[in-house]
Structure 1
Amino acid sequence: PRAHHKSINMQSTLPASWYREPGFYQLERRAIFSKSWILVSHIHQFNEPGKYARYEMAGYPFFIIKDRAGNINAFLNICRHRAFPIVHENEGKAFVLSCKYHGWSYSMNGNLAKAPRFDHVEDFDKEEYKLYKVHSHVDRLGFFWVNLDAAEKPTLSWEEQFGGVDTQPRLENFDMSDYEYDHTWSMEGKFNWKTLIENYNECYHCPTAHPGLAPFFKGNKQMNYGLEKYWVAHLGAKGEERSGSVSPTYMFPNASVTLTPVFFYMMSIVPTSATTSLMRYEVYRSKSATPEQVKEKLDFFSQVESEDKWLANGSQANLNSDTYMTGPFHPDVEEAVVYVIGRVKGMLHEHVDEEKKRGAEWWPARRGPVQATKSSAEQDEAFCRGVCENSALRGGSAPEGLAW
């Protein structure tokens, strides 16, 4: 192995327990998906006022909508009254966001417009019951990112995690104004989200599992030639920084973008439980490409994604079996995987250290009660926490006896 890879020689994979334990998945929700900037869409999908799209990320529901002023906003998909979802379709158009439970309605910028029969309720302030806003960022290429951190200022800045990802020299020859939103499609997978993310970040498996990808690796091209902050640039050669050819980039924790002259698509591996995920794809076609060109390329990439799903499902089945613990990483061709899981481990350990200081679990995405109901809400929450932490309810098995 080359000398600069020496530090990762014979490094082991993560233990199988990291891919199947429900409690560990909840830690990932707190430590990673509550605090990271997550790539979810592109502004081309929101091309007119009222256009919206619905998302869920590791159990956190939200939607994106363009308002009349041209702003693209993200909100939790939760009515502030009794938590019913605001939007129910994956995509749509609406100028008023109405809850179909009790009729509360909101404007496209999240303001509460109507709360039936609350007009004369003492201490009710409409300003305190706006939709929960989600932090968002649009990068220089028009990609739309969210951060679910409930704090006024996210724990991590976008620049800290992804500064430079939108100014890669190899992307300069792509004119993003030439693309338009086409469609979204998805597949359900029986695997932990990391299983597929690790698969994506190496092509050690490609000669065996993806024979159709062989032409991409002719000459001196490498699977990964840029490990930067929280992203990895794939499929390049050192002398082809401005090639304008197929250019995939992985963005931590669970997304990637593959830019081609014919279309680009965004992949999100959305965790739905400790052992299941949704493979979600947004497709944007070049305005100059013919339907036949788009179909040919999309069929090819869809076949590759289906092959990866089969691989991830098979690996996860054995990770669930409690017969395998760890294996070895190749220090060269699996370098990016080692880099990515290093980011995972770092965020998890940092979060656990913070929870130890606080003496309690820390859920950064959790919104607190408004001032008028804060005292009673906190008392009720403390009662629930006390019951669950001092009984077998915490583990879900039959209780041997409550603390009292």
Structure 2
Amino acid sequence: MASLLSYIGLGGSTTPTTPPEKSAVRALPANWYTSEEMYQLERRAIFSRRWLLLTHKSRFTTPGDYLRYSVANYDIVVAKDRQGEIHAFHNVCRHRAYPVVEQDNGNAKIFSCKYHGWSYGLNGNLAKAPGYQDLPAFDKAENGLFPIHVRLDKNGFVWINMDSKEVPEVSWEEQFDTVDEQERLTDFNFDDYVFDHTYNMESNFNWKILADNFNECYHCKTTHPDLPAIANLETYDVNCSADHIQHDPKTTDEQRAAGFGICSTYMFPNVSFTVTSTFMMMQKFMPKAPGVSVMYYELWRNKNATEEAFHAIADLYARVMKEDKVLCERAQANINAGLFINGELHPHMEKGPLFFQKRCREVVMEHSAREKREGRQIWPAKQQLKKTGNSAISNEDVAFCEGLACGNDNDKSDLAW
């Protein structure tokens, strides 16, 4: 009888259950790394709704300093105004959508659109719209650049959130808790780090394959001959909580004395920063398409470090990044071929990728369920038109075009549920 009940699923199993820490776990399926629909959902659910680590305040030493970034196809400018405040906004002129900033970095007194001459202050407010001074109903205050929420954490890192609401739906504290208060960060004075240089590498792979790769050192012994100088590859570990992954390389006293005592944290979704006594590096995995990503690197030198000490670690990391690029390119090529679905990840040696993938799954599925309930795609960063005046006419035009499915891919009404 017991065996019959077990056969039809009503009896208890006589097979002992394997503890989770002893069981391999299936990774995200391959189509999460190739699908255009998934990429657009990630843009809606992750990149335009969650807090993103972008840079450090030390990049802005003088009023007018600005940086331009491309984040999941969103063109973003971050600038320091004359009062010393850091602002971020979408690089989209409010007149005809031309970019108001065309260089990757620089210093400006004002941002002037090269299309029709609309000009904006360093805080994004509209300063001049030629000819519009003759239109009494035109409101300059309503035509500033689209603002992006900015937060400076306790260590001077600059974060953004593109949610167009006055207050983002996801708070920084909810997402990251006290990540800027890690005890191990007290060993570093971030004011001692001076910006040195930046570089980037673009290639054909999904941004998540980079995150999976970065957040485990299971591959390090096979691929990275330099890493034993800065980490114990036998005991390397990660600790995961509150949308961040703290890497613990188990460095020795001798390695720390040589300037190789690394402190590395991965911030969901796509950024890590690594700091030692001689250098600091931020790496950003910026998607451009389902199968195209850019690896952005910003490096700082500790003002008390020699050039030799700085380059010893900076050059080592540059070699490691190039090695990782090859890994990701070749894995993505096989994923694209359509044979591989997914593999089984080790519950300990790959717990970093498992945590990252779990967060991706949770965030996009939550957003997708919300879209299904409301019967529409939800783009948190999208311009919010008023419901009165000429904006009401625009809303009608938008709705008409969506009904014809004549918009761009971001506005189609034929949802893929």
Q: How far 1:282 moved relative to its partner?
A: 0.8
Q: Which residue of the partner structure matches residue 383 of structure 1? A: 400
Once the two structures are superposed, residues 89-117 of structure 1 have per-residue CA deviations (whole angstroms, 9 ceiling, x without a partner) of: 11100011111110000111111110000
Q: Which residues of structure 1 form unaligned runs of 5+? A: 396-404
Q: Secondary structure at the match of 1:378?
A: helix
Q: How far 1:190 moved relative to its partner?
A: 0.8
Q: Secondary structure at the match of 2:187?
A: coil
Q: Which moved more, 1:23-32 or 1:285-294?
A: 285-294
Please say if 1:97 is aligned against 2:111: yes
Please say if 1:320 is aligned against 2:345: no
Q: How far 1:379 moved relative to its partner?
A: 1.6
Q: How far 1:381 moved relative to its partner?
A: 1.1
Q: How far 1:335 moved relative to its partner?
A: 0.8
Q: Which residues of structure 2 form unaligned runs of 5+? A: 1-16, 413-417
Q: Which residue of the partner structure matches residue 35 of structure 1? A: 49
Q: TM-score, normalised by structure 2?
A: 0.89
Q: Which residue of the partner structure matches residue 399 of structure 1? A: none
Selected match of 1:346 from 342, 353, 362: 362
Cα RMSD (Å): 2.3
Paired with 1:256 and 1:262, the residues of 2 have a C-alpha distance of 17
Paired with 1:54 and 1:211, the residues of 2 have a C-alpha distance of 35
8 Å CA contact 2:89–2:145 kept in 1: the answer is yes
Paired with 2:281 and 2:410, the residues of 1 have a C-alpha distance of 43
Structure 1 residues 219 and 378: alpha-carbon distance in aligned structure 2, compared to 1, 3 A threshold: closer
Q: How far 1:369 moved relative to its partner?
A: 2.7
Q: Which residue of the partner structure matches residue 87 of structure 1? A: 101
Paired with 1:5 and 1:317, the residues of 2 have a C-alpha distance of 34
Paired with 1:186 and 1:275, the residues of 2 have a C-alpha distance of 17
Q: Which moved more, 1:139-148 or 1:282-291?
A: 282-291
8 Å CA contact 1:74–1:146 kept in 2: the answer is yes
For 1:289-308, list aligned pairs within 5 A: 289-308=305-324
Q: How far 1:4 moved relative to its partner?
A: 11
Paired with 1:56 and 1:277, the residues of 2 have a C-alpha distance of 11
Q: How far 1:210 moved relative to its partner?
A: 0.8
8 Å CA contact 1:123–1:372 kept in 2: the answer is no
Please say if 1:206 is aligned against 2:220: yes
Q: How far 1:216 moved relative to its partner?
A: 3.4
Q: How far 1:200 moved relative to its partner?
A: 0.3
Q: Which residue of the partner structure matches residue 139 of structure 2? A: 125
Q: Which residue of the partner structure matches residue 398 of structure 1? A: none
8 Å CA contact 2:68–2:105 kept in 1: the answer is yes
Amino acid at match of 2:270: N
Count matched residues: 389
Please say if 1:110 is aligned against 2:124: yes
Paired with 1:139 and 1:232, the residues of 2 have a C-alpha distance of 17
Q: How far 1:36 moved relative to its partner?
A: 0.8
Amino acid at match of 2:391: K
Q: TM-score, normalised by structure 1?
A: 0.92
Selected match of 2:83 from 41, 49, 69: 69
Paired with 2:234 and 2:252, the residues of 1 have a C-alpha distance of 9
Please say if 1:256 is aligned against 2:269: no
Q: Which moved more, 1:158-167 or 1:370-379?
A: 370-379
Q: Which residue of the partner structure matches residue 330 of structure 1? A: 346
Paired with 1:357 and 1:34, the residues of 2 have a C-alpha distance of 20
Amino acid at match of 1:129: N
Q: Secondary structure at the match of 2:151?
A: strand
- Identical counterparts, % of pairs: 41
Paired with 1:138 and 1:8, the residues of 2 have a C-alpha distance of 41
